[in-house]
């Protein structure tokens, strides 16, 4: 079955090349209750998505769940995948790599927050590759009770964003605070628009907000600030960001409405609801979006 799925992936890319299209989009996905594993969607235009059949990787580490799968492709062609491996009382995240999306390395549990055993969780690790330094960033949300001003949230739900860096996924820098906007925040995505121009899209996880906004920096490590207005309704989470044409599309899970929605923007300051212009298979839960580019003669690469 997995061989058929891989074949479908490359056939999709080859068809798009032959039709004169330049790219195919690949969306990592999972389904509740999150114990099945990694799935994929594909799209030719970034707006209309279909499922690729099958499960690519079944979770075997941590609490044996896979939520929020985030994937990037390194300069050597290797796909790197991280994911939420447990709800609470899990001090790390899952990691595996693959050259072809079928054959995967042995899964690892990276205990990134074990230095503080009062840590409640490690949620939604998000990968970002910085081509200027050759470093992979992993940003996630954790709660360390009584570490920050409580605000409106319970001490075990008062998240802040942390990060680590690696070049080889064997050694990782010590976990550090990545961004403290002054309130509980989760689900952070780094977007590079140009050199010295970075956007962080993330969720305000406080009551009654539970919505998504953006902050800005001149370095992937920040400091981030000058936040945008909240651009989603309350009870939304899991932003996924992709460039399509001259616009950025931000997908998110509107979990109270039980729908998957999106907005478009050119500047991350003004946003247009495009939920009526997208189509997402039922049951899809958020991950990250990659572009598969056509080069020549039917050959493809990813980014």
Task: Give the pLDDT score at 18.
Answer: 47
pLDDT digits (tens, 9 = 90+) for 124-162: 999 999 999 999 999 999 999 999 988 888 999 999 999
Alpha helices in the chain (DSSP H): 2-18
pLDDT digits (tens, 9 = 90+) for 237-261: 999 999 999 999 999 999 999 999 9
Instruction: List the domain range (segments joined by +) for residue 83.
Output: 2-302
Q: What is the DSSP letter of 175?
A: P
CB atoms near residue 146 (< 10 Å):
9
Q: Which of 135, 126, 270, 133 is nearest to 202 (CA)?
A: 126
Measured over the CA atoms of residue 56, residue 62, residue 67 and residue 72, the dihedral's sign is negative
Provide the number of structural domains found in the chain.
Answer: 1
Pairwise CA distance, residues 122 & 264, whole Å: 29
User: Given a cut of 90, is residue 163 above it in pLDDT?
Assistant: yes
pLDDT digits (tens, 9 = 90+) for 205-222: 999 999 999 999 999 999
Of residues 20 and 123, which shows the higher confidence score?
Answer: 123
The sheet carrying 79-84 orders its strands as 67-73, 79-84, 93-98, 108-110
pLDDT digits (tens, 9 = 90+) for 59-114: 999 999 999 999 999 999 899 999 999 999 999 999 999 988 888 999 999 999 99
Identify the residue whose tokens are 């599309």. 249
CB atoms near residue 114 (< 10 Å):
12
Pairwise CA distance, residues 243 & 169, whole Å: 27
pLDDT digits (tens, 9 = 90+) for 267-296: 999 999 999 999 999 999 999 999 875 443
CATH number at residue 218: 2.115.10.20
pTM: 0.92
Contacts of 54 (CB under 8 A, 6+ apart): 1, 2, 4, 5, 39
CB atoms near residue 41 (< 10 Å):
18
Most distant CA pair in the chain, distance: 58
Task: Give the pLDDT score at 186.
Answer: 98
User: Given a cut of 60, is residue 12 above it in pLDDT?
Assistant: no
CB atoms near residue 97 (< 10 Å):
16
């Amino acid at each position: 079955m997995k061989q058929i799925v891989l074949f479908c992936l490359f056939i999709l890319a080859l068809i798009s090349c032959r039709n004169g299209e330049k790219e195919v989009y690949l969306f990592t996905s999972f389904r509740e209750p999150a114990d099945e594993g990694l799935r994929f969607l594909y799209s030719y235009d970034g707006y209309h998505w279909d499922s690729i059949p099958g499960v690519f990787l079944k979770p075997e580490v941590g609490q044996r769940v896979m939520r929020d799968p985030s994937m990037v492709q390194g300069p050597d062609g290797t796909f790197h995948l991280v994911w939420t491996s447990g709800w609470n009382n899990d001090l790390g995240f899952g990691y595996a790599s693959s050259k072809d999306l079928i054959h995967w390395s042995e899964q690892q549990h990276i205990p990134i927050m074990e230095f503080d055993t009062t840590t409640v969780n490690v949620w939604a690790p998000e990968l970002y590759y910085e081509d200027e330094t050759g470093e992979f960033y992993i940003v996630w949300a954790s709660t360390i009770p009584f570490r920050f001003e409580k605000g409106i949230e319970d001490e075990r739900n008062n998240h802040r964003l942390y990060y680590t860096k690696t070049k080889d996924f064997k050694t990782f820098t010590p976990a550090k605070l990545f961004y403290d906007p002054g309130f509980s925040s989760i689900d952070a995505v780094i977007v590079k628009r140009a050199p010295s121009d970075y956007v962080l899209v993330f969720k305000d996880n406080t009551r009654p907000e539970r919505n998504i906004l953006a902050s800005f920096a001149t370095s992937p490590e920040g400091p981030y600030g000058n936040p945008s207005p909240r651009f989603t309704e309350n009870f939304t989470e899991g932003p996924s960001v992709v460039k399509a044409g001259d616009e950025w599309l931000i997908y998110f899970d509107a979990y109270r409405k039980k729908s998957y929605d999106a907005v478009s923007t050119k500047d991350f300051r003004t946003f247009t609801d495009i939920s009526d212009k997208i189509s997402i298979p039922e049951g899809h839960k958020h991950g990250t979006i990659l572009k598969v580019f056509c080069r020549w003669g039917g050959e493809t690469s990813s980014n």
